[in-house]
Amino acid sequence: MPTYDYRCPRDGTFALRFPIGEAAPGVRCVTCGAEAVRVFAPPMLNALPRPLVAALDRTGRSAEAPEVVSRIPDGGRGRRRTPHPGHARLPRPD
Ligand SMILES: [Zn+2]
């Protein structure tokens, strides 16, 4: 059953569980019994881990304004590096 948030004017927000589609627009406050109204909030956004939020933000920025490489990453020292020393022994084209 999903959780629905309600706000009491005196005690603040509390949550109740109802079957889907059966949440009442107003309930009695669980603390004081006053009329509490249903509040709508984006679900679970605060529960996302910070690294995931950072990764999602980076992905969004990359889609809108990707970083452009304007120089050779090794500083342009000219020597091309291969990841494996065996590559140097491979046959070269004539
Ligand atoms: Zn209350």
pLDDT of residue 6: 94
pLDDT value of residue 85: 86
Residue 83 lies in a domain: no
CB 6 within 8 A of CB 17: no
Burial of 6 (0-12, 13-18, 19+ CB in 10 A): buried
Residue 25 lies in a domain: yes
Task: Establish if 82 belongs to a structural domain.
Answer: no
In-domain check, residue 91: no
In a domain? residue 74: no
CA of 40 to the centre of ligand 1 (A): 18
- Give 8 Cα–ligand 1 centroid separation in angstroms: 5
How many domains, in total, are found in the chain? Answer: 1
Q: Splitting the chain (94 residues) into consecutive groups of 10 residues, what average pLDDT does each group show?
A: 91 92 91 93 72 90 83 64 82 85
Distance (angstroms) between ligand 1 centre and the Cα of 31 equals 5
Dist. CA 42 → ligand 1 center (Å): 23
Is residue 15 within 8 Å of 5, Cβ to Cβ?
Answer: yes
* CA 13 – ligand 1 centroid, Å: 9
How far, in Å, is the centroid of ligand 1 from the Cα of 41?
Answer: 19
- Residue 43's pLDDT is 65
pLDDT the model gives residue 19: 92
Domain that holds residue 37: 1-65
Report pLDDT for 7: 94
Residue 94 lies in a domain: no
What's the CA-to-centroid distance between 55 and ligand 1, angstroms?
39
